[in-house]
Each structure stands twice: as C-alpha cells, then as structure tokens.
Amino acid sequence: MRTVFVNPERCIGCLQCELACAVEHSASQDETVAFLEVPVPRKRVHVGAGPVATFAFPNRCRHCDPAPCLQVCPTGAITRDDKHALVLVEPRRCIGCAMCAVVCPFDVLTFHPVADGPGPGVAVAVKCDGCIERLRRGETPACAEVCKVDALVFGDLNELVAAGRLRETGAVLAAAGATPTEPPGGDPLAGWHAWGEATAAAADAARRHEGTGTARHNGHARGRSPAGDDSEGGPR
C-alpha cells in the first residue's frame, strides 16, 4: 500500500506542506490567487509545535482501517476508496454534526465552508483526502512533493518502514563505533562486576587448594599402612 509516511524527527516546521495542501484543494490551484477565493481553501495537513522550539510534527489523516469516523457518520458522508486505501468526505452529505471529530484518534478533522459544500457559509468536515486526484494521475501527494527534508515521504509503507529502520540502525552503529560511550557518573554496575570477579577468583583458589590437599592425602595413604607399618604389605 502506497501512502504518505511521516518522519517527525526531520520536520523543521517550514509549513510548506500546509501551503501546498491548501493550494491543491483550491479552485484555481494557483498560490498567487488562491487566497482570494471565497471560501478560502483550507489545508488538510496541520504542522503542530513540538515540546521544544526546534521540533514540529506534520499531523495528517492516517486513513484508518477500520475508520472510526466512517463508522459513526450518520449520513454516510464519509466513505472509503478501496483502490487507494483512502477515507474520503463527501461535503454535500455532511451535516456538520462533528461526531467524526469526536472519535478521531489523531485530531485531524476541522470544519469550514468549502466550495463544493451544501451551501454558502455552511461548515462541513474537512480532512486529508490523500490528494486522490493526483494519485489517479500517477502523481505524488502535494505535501510529500514539496517537503525538502523528507519529513513527509510517499511510497510503499513496508518499504518506508524498512528503510527507516536501516537508517536508524546505521546511525546508531556509526555513533557507537566513533566514540565509546561511558554512562554518566561511571558504570552503575561496577560494584556488581567487582563482586563477580572476586567471587570467581575465590572459587578458583578454593579449587586449587582442594586439589593440592587431595594429592597430599593420596601420597600419605600410599606411604603408610593403617596399622602403622611402613611396608606396603600391611600387618603381618
């Protein structure tokens, strides 16, 4: 299955994906005039601020299967395109009840008037449609096409996940080989390691001592008989 995969660690918060998404869903599809349209075209991807200033997350619809939003929609406005594995909204059937937004686990649904909605000024559910028209033309979704840092990439999900794992593994191995790591404050298991080494040394010493004692005892038994006679024949 081909989809847009998110690499949040690469996002720099430039918002180019948001702009490209809004323009793609405008009537003119021209960024120089799209903002003048009525109603204003809305973005379907939302770049959220992260816990630190240099971290951002491009949040988009995951097109769940099964999709909670599709299951609760009372008018059948939300459907699935099985060919492209996309969950879509039919604006003219949406009544703006927001039940889909309540059950969405990723908080990707917003409500705005749209050009192909039921009427002027009527807010309906707006969400990512995977740029389905671009997919039908064999093109890449707009957000992934404009992303310059590969925070959003389009491709087969299994291949993207495998490539990500290989990249992360290579980075970890390179870092481990370049600089030996030492835990802060020293090795927290140093005491246990020393105790283990001391225990092993004591056990080795005990075995050597036991072996020496056995050799002496055997030699003494051969040299003297139980009766005190020095001869090997024993008492006469």
- Say if CB 23 and CB 162 are below 8 A apart: no
Q: Which of 119, 95, 103 is nearest to 87 (CA)?
A: 103
Q: What would the pLDDT profile of 182-215 be if each residue is shown by its tens digit?
A: 666 667 777 777 888 888 888 888 888 887 765 5
pLDDT of 162? 80
Mean pLDDT of 154-175: 79
132: number of CA atoms within 13 Å, CB side? 14
234: left (phi over 0), alpha (psi -120 to 50) or beta: left
- Domain range list for the chain: 2-178, 189-213
For domain 2-178, the CATH class is: alpha beta
| Residue 203: how many other CB atoms lie within 10 Å | 10
Lowest model confidence (mean pLDDT) among 19-33, 41-55, 82-96: 41-55
217: pLDDT confidence band, cut at 50, 70 and 90? low
pTM for this model (two decimals): 0.67
Confidence of residue 225 (pLDDT cuts 50, 70, 90): very low
pLDDT digits (tens, 9 = 90+) for 105-159: 999 999 999 999 998 899 999 999 999 999 999 999 999 999 999 999 998 878 8
Among the ranges 16-25, 170-179, 206-215, which has the highest mean pLDDT value? Answer: 16-25
Express as a percent the part of the chain with pLDDT over 70.
85
